[in-house]
Amino acid sequence: MKIKAIKFVVDHFDGNQSETARALGVKQQNVWFWLNNQDNDLPIDLFPIAAKVIGINPADLRPDIFGK
């Protein structure tokens, strides 16, 4: 099982879903949903924002979409 990108982002904020949500410009409920539903992850359009917030390249989160 692969680790979800949203998990990396939330871990950057020491597990704080509210801080993660503020940084991404979404509601905390969205973060909870992405973390707790097996088939869902961070939406593709938020990957560049998430990568910038945690200081990495979007390809580090999703090399299959953003290339490596």
* pLDDT tens digit sequence for 6-61: 999 999 999 999 999 999 999 999 999 999 998 888 999 999 999 999 999 999 88
- Residue 2: pLDDT above 80? no
Domains and CATH numbers, the chain: 5-66 (1.10.260)
Q: Does position 1 have pLDDT exceeding 60, yes or no?
A: no
Task: Give the pLDDT confidence score for residue 19 in this predicted structure.
Answer: 97
pTM: 0.86
Q: In angstroms, what CA-CA distances link 34 with 38, 40, 62, 67, 68?
A: 8, 5, 15, 23, 24
- Using the Cα atoms of residue 32, residue 6, residue 8 and residue 56 in order, give the sign of their dihedral: negative
Count Cβ atoms below 10 Å from residue 6 Cβ, excluding itself.
Answer: 25
Of residues 59 and 1, more confidently modeled: 59
